[in-house]
Amino acid sequence: MSLSSVWSIITKIIDICVVWFIVYYILKSIKNNVKMVLIVKGVVLLLIVKLISDLLNLYTVGLLLEYVFEWGPLAIIVLFHPEIRSVLESIGRTKLLGRHKVLTVEEREKVVYEIMDAVEYLKKNKIGALMVIERDMSLAEYINPATKVYADLTSPLLGSIFFPNSPLHDGGVIIQGNRITCAGAVFKTSMNPTLNKKLGTRHRAALGIAEESDAVALVVSEETGRLSIAVDHEIHYNLSLDEFRMRLVEELKPKTEVFYDADTTEGEGEIDE
């Protein structure tokens, strides 16, 4: 096999991988957007009708569908540009190289401990709070206009931020790794019509960021002290402390974990991939 043949095969493999990668991320983003899913279903339905009209020689139907396919893409862009922009933004926010910080097991345990200690205090005193934990998708657009903190994540700091009458009380906190990046962040509220109308702005904002990204949003209700977690386009409402802790631990787990030999003195350890 000549060198040119090998290079041709390699370029074809790269070409297929790039196309697969693009299609994968587009479909992944579309499936979590209700309106975009409806658009895709509508296009598929029109294609099926077009095939049937061609098989049955339905001239008028086929002619109308040709006009639809000719001008349809432009109409979709004009009518659904907010949804299309949302999909493109979600793709752009994804960090292809993974999280900005890899936490060790001990660091994750400390993050959970500090958050749970703060949550118990906030729940007991019915102090409202919204904490958003960044994962693979960047939340830079919400961090930039917020009040920067850049401090280690601790329970007392969370308690002081959300203390009533605090200037940052009504906003959200964004956590990156084991540090509080900013406070007073404002998130887009969810427009999901099936959401319980009794849920307030914090819960709607939590679900909104969970719909736009892969972040984990933690909510403490100011009126009832109830705990909720919004993740993967869903909000889990009125959780007990144990349920809240278990779900938080589960969501903070890395996608994969590998073992490595740290050194001859420390032996075998565990690290996030």
Q: Hey, CA dihedral for 67, 70, 74, 79, is it positive or negative?
A: positive
Domains in the chain and their CATH numbers?
Answer: 3-93 (no CATH), 105-252 (3.40.1700.10)
- The pLDDT value recorded for residue 199 is 83
Residue 224 structure tokens: 């009832």
The band of 99, judged by pLDDT with boundaries at 50, 70 and 90, is very low
pLDDT tens, residue by residue, 174-210? 999 999 999 999 998 888 877 877 788 999 999 999 9
pLDDT tens, residue by residue, 58-96? 888 888 888 887 787 777 777 666 666 666 665 555 544
User: Looking at residues 238-267, what average pLDDT do you find?
Assistant: 72
Sequence-separated (6 or more) residues with CB below 8 Å from residue 58: 52
* Verdict on whether the full-model pTM lies above 0.75: no
Cα separation of the two ends of the chain: 38
Residue 266 structure tokens: 């420390």
The band of 35, judged by pLDDT with boundaries at 50, 70 and 90, is low
Residue 40 structure tokens: 């895709």
Place of tokens 């109830």: 226
Q: Hey, CA dihedral for 149, 154, 157, 162, is it positive or negative?
A: positive
pLDDT tens, residue by residue, 17-31? 888 887 777 676 666
Residue 133 structure tokens: 């934990």
Residue 272 is inside which H or E element, if any? strand 267-272
User: Looking at residues 123-130, what average pLDDT do you find?
Assistant: 94
- The pLDDT value recorded for residue 109 is 93
